[in-house]
Amino acid sequence: MSHRSIDSARLLGRIAELGAIGRDADGRLVRLAASDTEKLGRDRFVSWLEDAGLEVAVDRIGNIFGIWNGAGVGEKPIMIGSHIDTVINAGIYDGCYGVLAGLEVIETLKGQGFEPSRPIVVAAFTNEEGVRYAPDMMGSLVYSGGLDVAAALKTVGTDGTVLGDELARIGYAGPHAPGFLTPHAYVELHIEQGPVLEREGVPVGAVENLQGISWQRVTIDGDANHAGTTPISMRRDAGYAAARVITFLRDRAKASNTPTVATVGCIAFEPNAINVIPSRATFTVDLRDPDEDRLKEEENALSAFLELLSAEEGVGVSVERLARFEPVKFDQAIVRLIEAAARDRGLACKRMTSGAGHDAQMIARIAPGAMIFVPSRGGISHNPKEFTSDTDLVAGANILLDVVCRLATGELPR
Ligand code: HGY
Ligand code: MN
Ligand code: MN
């Protein structure tokens, strides 16, 4: 059976080119949401959309859309997308692969005279990573009505900037109301960012659900004091208390024998001096679990531990919620389309859960959707060592092409 195929050189060339945009003086890839470096990536993506003859639309939270009206103008579009903002010292595939493969699918179909029954749209959602402005998946959360756009634009970043000001400054405070296009279906292609597909030698993942996410910022207040003269028994050591939380979370997750994961990714001490007992420790807690009840249990266990710690160490504890998303189940009919597409290409395919958060979990609020994964070497991501082979990248993009064709010719997920 002959298959359409994307232009692999064009896709791989663009992934490499976008991956070179936004490197800092040390060569690290850092394109934080609404930053100057992200603007450079946005501008390049928009220029590719224009070259492809697509209508470019930007909404008020800076989400970028490339719209191929084709036939069926006014019909709900098929939406394919992801994000192009990155974490700090990122790899080049996370998010960017899905956005560029989405554009590639549209250009391939346009170039082959394909007549879709409805518009096809490629989307790059703002601030998926949530590193500079919490929560993550913010652009797609606003787009799907989960967060008011005015409130989101007021978000203050870790650097004290305001998201709305930054979007205006980089020229991406768009006119469209978030949600201006309701997708008929949404499909997101993404690297797995975990070890499962590689370990099992499977090239395609049909993602049927995504785990719940809980982000919190914890502040512990003790007393600064002299590191040399203060007896241990007289200390209110915020640094030590924070360390107890980190080991509590890891030990509990490890002992649980469940998919629960816990991460303290950011931490800061005040006054942060070698010979001063920390008066304050501020750190973030990222808890995840595919089961909502277990995730709630983990949050409750942390809260109880913080109370105990406060009594035992004589420290003050305050907690700020940064993000909370329940687990999401994707559309089974689209998952089956992904499996059928892989089968037709003679590719093994595995149903799986996503450990990472994705825009697809937000768009699932307004449209049937699912995700396609391709293997990550060593399961590494959010790290410059992130890597997926060209063969797997091209195979994933061709699966996306097939799924979009089936959705566009009426083989609908129902
Ligand atoms: O946090 C996440 O899982 C995603 O990378 N934003
Ligand atoms: Mn991502
Ligand atoms: Mn990511």
Which pLDDT score is estimated for 412?
Answer: 43
Q: What CATH number should be reported for the domain whose range is 8-210+327-408?
A: 3.40.630.10
User: Which CA distances in Å does 205 have to 82, 158, 272, 372, 392?
Assistant: 16, 34, 45, 6, 11
Q: For a pLDDT cut of 90, what percent of the chain falls above it? A: 94
CATH of 212-325, one of 1.10.10.410, 3.10.580.10, 3.30.70.360, 3.90.550.10: 3.30.70.360
pLDDT in tens, 119-154: 999 999 999 999 999 999 999 999 999 999 999 999
pLDDT in tens, 234-285: 999 999 999 999 999 999 999 999 999 999 999 999 999 999 999 999 999 9
Give the strand pairing for 280-289 and 267-270.
antiparallel
Nearest to 33, CA basis, from 84, 82, 80, 81? 84
Is the distance from the beta carbon of residue 356 to the nearest atom of ligand 1 less than 6 Å? Answer: yes
Structural domain boundaries in the chain: 8-210+327-408, 212-325
Q: Which of 183, 206, 205, 178 is nearest to 80 (CA)?
A: 183
H/E run at residue 149: helix 149-153
Q: Whose CA is nearest to atom 6 of ligand 1?
A: 129
Q: What is the pTM of this model?
A: 0.94
User: What confidence tens digit (pLDDT) does each residue in 202-245 have?
Assistant: 999 999 999 999 999 999 999 999 999 999 999 999 999 999 99
Distance of CA 134 from the midpoint of ligand 2 (Å): 15
- In the structure encoding, which two tokens stand for residue 182, read together? 């309701």
From ligand 1's centre to the CA of 78, what distance in Å? 24
Atom of ligand 1 nearest to the CA of 137: 6
- Find the distance separating the first CA and the last CA of the chain, reported in whole Å: 25
Half-sphere exposure of 238 (CA within 13 A, CB side): 25
For residue 169, give both structure tokens. 């400054």
Output the CA–CA distances (angstroms, integers) from residue 81 to 104, 173, 217, in the order listed: 11, 19, 30
Closest CA to 143 of 97, 117, 174: 174
The Cα–Cα gap between 61 and 362 comes to 15
Using left for φ > 0, alpha for ψ between -120 and 50, and beta otherwise, residue 382 falls in: left
Binding site annotation covers 83?
yes
